[in-house]
Structure 1
Amino acid sequence: MATLELLSPAEHSQLKIIRGAYQDPSFAVNLTTVMTSELALLAHEYPIFFYKSARSGQFQLAALLGFASGQNLFLSDGKWTARQVPLDIQRRPFQLHVPDDLATKSGHLAIDPHSPQFSTTHGEALYNQDNSPTPALLHYQSLFSHLLSASEHTRSVLATLVEHDLLEGVELNVALDKGNITLSDLYAVNVKNLNALTGDALKACHDQGVLQVCHLVMSSGSHLEMMIERANAQNTASK
């Protein structure tokens, strides 16, 4: 289990971050959260679905990365094999510790100093000699700043989707060379209800960018075939 520590120059001045290699266990996920601000790019490479967070009970946007828990078909020998990397992947191995009284407005970065993404001998330093953050650390701080601000619009869009009953549960049946896999607990756009929108509801969904989100999510399903090909190729290579 990871042991998280709040990042500070007093404790971690000697740590370096290894960027461009994806070795931390947190990268081995088959689903990663997506913000509406990055959806237009990610929908060109990943199947996008909705899921309900077990922690909050709220709906989230997510990119499907694999068909089994811990399976990431976009990782190969520690390299990311797609052009666009989701922000939730880019920010790892850092996590955000948010005190309850601050809600989602700000927080402190936390790390597992034993992660293979950190080293004291190679990589990019996190702190300068005067304990100020280096460009590498500023990059991650900027990522979290964007994620926090983008999450507000994402939550608003998801709330509108729920309000107008535009989500429906789906069961994904995937036929692989080694056998069939069924994925449940995913949600897709309810096309019937989307097409039935009229009047104020239609205008509200248009003005809030909900219609664009729906169309991007619907079009992203074409990437499932590519993922099946990746899964079959990985299974063949492992034999």
Structure 2
Amino acid sequence: MSNHQSLNTKEHAELRIHTDHGVERGDAVMACLIVPHEFRQVQGDYPILFRRNDDGSGFNALAMLGFENGENLYLEGDKWDASYIPLSMSIKPFLVGRPREEGGEPQVHIDMDHPRVSTSGEGTRVFDEDGRPTPFLERISDQLGALHAWFQETPAFFQALERYDLLEPFSLDVPLSNGTRQSLVGYHIINEDKFFALDVTALDELRQTGMLTPIFMALASLSQLSGLISRKDRKENLG
């Protein structure tokens, strides 16, 4: 369940947020949404895969964190073992809400039922004693604004990939050292051969529209699959 509220000083003056990580903080997910603007940072830690929306209307980009629902192999107690945490995870429990008026600016909302919301008086303050946003909230607001803008641009990226028929189905079946197997099915990746076979006109269009870098980053990220498998193997062997 969720309880979304528009963030304001009247109702949330004493609000505090847990900023550590862990299963109890809502971080136990096998994948999280990312946007192409993040691919450069994401590819250094996580495999980037694509998945078609449930309604078939398009694709989403995902940073893969595990192989099973509720599994984040980057969690080590209250630590997240990676140099970069995707924005869709680092902004929680905040989200972008609808503007108060038609054509207005999007508002900062908060899910008051999220496990990061502190009910113990511990955690990082959202507003200071004078009701002003703390540096923590200012950073979150900047991240929300960037993420909202980048999500608006994401459909153009997938339209370009589909226009040049660059997406191909992907599945992975991996034997682990303890005799079990792990798999990923229902995903897509960029077809590297088709990409490098594009003519100069197509490549120039992708360059001018800013699509080349995220394509290269997505391809480079596939080298992180071996690291994800190693994390799973260690977890299984430790029981």
In structure 1, list runs of 5 or more residues that go unmatched: none
2:196 aligns with 195
Question: Which residue does the alignment assign to 1:146?
Answer: 146
The offset of 1:71, in angstroms, is 0.6
CA shift at 1:99, angstroms?
A: 5.9
- What RMSD in Å do the two structures reach over aligned CA positions? 2.5
- Residues 4, 112 of structure 2: 8 Å contact kept: yes
146-155 vs 95-104, which deviates more? 95-104
Aligned partner of 2:136 in structure 1 is 136
- In the TM superposition, what are the counterparts of 1:103-182 in structure 2 within 5 Å? 106-113=106-113, 115-176=115-176, 177=178, 179-182=180-183
1:201 alignment partner AA: A
Q: Secondary structure at the match of 2:26?
A: helix
Q: Residue in 2 aligned with 1:75?
A: 75
More displaced, 198-207 or 97-106? 97-106
In structure 2, distance between residues paired with 1:169 and 1:100 = 41
CA distance in 1, matches of 2:146, 2:55: 22
Code of the aligned partner of 1:76: E
Mean Cα deviation higher: 20-29 or 72-81: 20-29
Select between 117-126 and 34-43 the one with higher mean Cα deviation: 117-126
Residue pair 1:23, 1:117 contacting (<8 A) in 2 also? no
Question: C-alpha displacement at 1:120, in angstroms?
Answer: 4.6
* 2:222 is aligned with 1:221: yes
User: Aligned equivalents of 2:92 and 2:57: distance in 1?
Assistant: 23
Unaligned runs of 5+ in 2: none
Q: Which moved more, 1:125-134 or 1:50-59?
A: 50-59
Kindly provide the CA deviation profile for residues 4-60 of structure 1, in whole angstroms up to 9, marking residues without a partner as x.
333222222222112233455532111111222221121111111111233683212
Q: Is the 8 A contact 1:24 1:93 kept in 2?
A: no
Distance in 2 separating the partners of 1:231 and 1:201: 39
Q: Residues 59 and 114 from structure 1, CA distance in 2 versus in 1: closer, same or farther, beyond 3 angstroms?
A: closer
With normalisation by structure 1, the TM-score equals 0.88
Query: Is structure 2 residue 32 aligned with structure 1 residue 32?
Result: yes
What residue identity is the alignment partner of 1:37?
A: H
Once the two structures are superposed, what CA deviation does each residue of 1:119-142 show, in whole Å capped at 9, x if it has no partner? Answer: 452222111233222211111111
Alignment partners' CA distance in 2, 1:159 and 1:114: 34
Tell me whether 162-171 or 114-123 shows the greater mean CA deviation.
114-123
Take 1:76 and 1:98, find their aligned partners in 2: how far apart are those partners? 35
In terms of mean alpha carbon deviation, does 212-221 or 114-123 score higher?
114-123
User: For the residues of structure 2 that align with 1:104 and 1:205, how far apart are their CA atoms?
Assistant: 32
- The answer for the alignment partner of 1:61 in structure 2 is 61
Deviation digits for residues 69-120 of structure 1 (CA, Å, limit 9, x no counterpart): 1110011112101111111111112222336986996233122246244245
